Structure formats: C-alpha cells, structure tokens
Amino acid sequence: MEWFDALVQGILLGGMYAQYALGMALMFGVMRIVNISHGDLVILLSLIGISIATAWGLGPLPVLIVLVPLAVLMGWVLQKAVLNRVVGSDPLPSLIATFGLSIALQNLMLQIWSANSRSLPGHGIESQSIEIGGIYIGLLPLIVLAVATGLTWGLDLTLKRTRFGRALRAASADVEAAAMTGINPRAVYAMATAAAVGILGFAAVFQALRSTVAPADGPAQLIYAFEAVIIGGMGTVWGAFAGSMVLGISQAIGFRIDPGFGVLAGHIVFLIVLATRPQGLFGKALS
C-alpha cells in the first residue's frame, strides 16, 4: 500500500514535470536548441504571478489568465531578441547565450524578490484532498495532472492537425526545404518558442501553488525537464509526458526509501535509461 501510494504520488509529481518538459521537447524538436534559462523563466513567471496576486488580491485562476499571455509574449520576445540570432547547426552560440541569460535572470530575480522562498496563496485549494480506495489524493496535484494531460493532448493535436503544426514539423525536418515551400522559419520559430514559454506560464502558477519558489530554483527545473525528455524519448510530445511520469515515480519512490535519495533516484534512472536505451523509452532507434 505504501509503495502504491508512492506510485500515485509519483504520477502526480510527473504531471508537474510534464509541464516543464513539453516546452523543452517542442523547442529542441523544432530548432535543435536547448534554452538553459528554461527553468529560470518558470521561476520568473512564478514570482511575477505571486507579486500580481498580492498586489491586486487575485486568486489562482485570474493569475493564470494574466500570466499565460505574458509568458507567450516573453517567449516571442526571447526568440526575436536572442534565439533567432543563435539558431543553427552549431550548438555553442545558443547554449552560451541562454547560459548568460540564465545567470543574469537568476541574479536579477535575487535583486528584485530577495532569496526568500515564496508561494502563491491558493485560497484553500492547495489543502483539499479526495479519498480513493484508502489513498488520499490532493486536489491540486490532480488538477496539475489533468492540465498536463490536456496540454500534451492539445500540443499533439496542434502538431498533427493544424497548418501551424505542419509548418513546425516541416521546419524541424528540413529548414531549407520548408523555406522553399513558403514557410518562414523565423516566424515558425517565434511561434514555437512563444508556445513553449506559454506552457511554462501554466507550470509557473502550479509550481507556486504546489510548493515554494526562490530565485535559485531554476536550474533544478531545467534538469527535470531535460531528464523527462531524454527518458521519454525525443521527438514525441507523448514521450516527454511519459518520461515525466517515469521521472516523477522514480523520485517519489526514492524519497520513500530515504529523503536524501529522492532527486538522486531520478538522476540514476535517467543515467540507466541513457546507458540501456539511449533513444528513450518511447523513442525510435536511430538507423
């Protein structure tokens, strides 16, 4: 029963990680870029959300409604001002640029919000739970999981069914060929990053509701997102989702074994997957 409980908690935790991982999978799939400031953007959005909530006395839902468009705008600006200049086959420029951005963001947040941990007041939603078969499940983690599933489903459908999705997939397969068929890669890239950071807007609200955020927390979120993407297998949105579940379950079981072992257990599962199945659990092997 105790282990089953850990499993359930792990899946719920995975819902949180999926919200970080989707954006990273999307950006890497389309541009072959990893944004090192990915986690710092989550924290920045969380802190902005907390400040908005305290200044205007808003509940979580209105904060979400304000924050997601803001995140989309941030992603668009990030692409226009920084990433469009560094996208290319050489990974160095994009890594260095976003690395510098990450250091600057972390310390800027430290200046503005100080090193204190903060959280978003949920007006009771964070402490409610429902009982299913002897296990108490927090209402908030359940909502997080549901939203993560919805986002994954929505992103998958967008990629498969819409004109924008087709343009994205074409650009990720071959930029030059896509450009020949009339797709503007820069515009596609800007929309992809806007969507990726927009999803982080959801993640930011839920992260701040579920636990606390502090300016130095970003790199940990980046690493979880990355591990989820690699465990699940690159190239598929549902792979990133499944990888998040595996990571969440590994951490939850690790925490149950020893509180000092939780995060390490996630890393170890990541390394085992890398050693035994480098294409990820649900990825296709490279020919």
**Binding residues for another protein, per CB under 8 A?**
28, 32-34, 36, 82, 85-86, 90-97, 99-108, 110-111, 219, 222-223, 226-227, 230, 234, 258, 260-261, 263-264, 267-268, 270-271, 274-275, 278
In whole angstroms, the minimum distance from the beta carbon of 126 to another protein comes to: 28
Q: Which is nearer to another protein, 63 or 79 (CB)?
A: 79
3-state DSSP assignment of residue 125? helix
Nearer to another protein, 15 or 218 (CB): 218
Contacts of residue 249, defined as CB under 8 A and 6 or more positions apart, other chains included, come to 6, 7, 10, 11, 13, 14
3-state secondary structure of 196: helix
Ordered alpha helix ranges (H), the chain: 2-31, 38-56, 60-78, 84-86, 91-113, 139-161, 163-173, 175-180, 185-210, 218-232, 237-257, 262-276
Q: Which residue has the tokens 């950071």?
A: 197
Query: In the complex with another protein, which residue's Cβ is closer, 165 or 219?
Result: 219
- Least distance CB 59 / another protein (angstroms): 32
CB of 243 to another protein, least distance (A): 13
Measured from the CB atom, is 33 or 249 closer to another protein? 33
Between the alpha carbon of residue 251 and those of residues 122, 131, 139, 147, 168, the distances in Å are: 25, 23, 20, 21, 33
Pick 187 or 271: Cβ nearer another protein: 271
Q: Shortest Cβ distance from residue 196 to another protein (Å)?
A: 14
d(CA 116, CA 217): 11
52 vs 263 by CB, closer to another protein: 263
255: amino acid identity, one letter? F
CB 237 to another protein: min, Å: 17
Strand partners, 138: 129
Pick the closer one to another protein by CB: 187 or 274: 274
CA distance 202 to 147: 8
The minimum distance between CB 226 and another protein, in angstroms, equals: 4
CA–CA separation, 83 vs 71, rounded Å?
16
8 Å CB contact between 138 and 243: no
Kindly state the smallest distance separating residue 124's Cβ from another protein, in Å: 35
> Degrees (nearest 5) of the Cα angle 105, 263, 254?
160
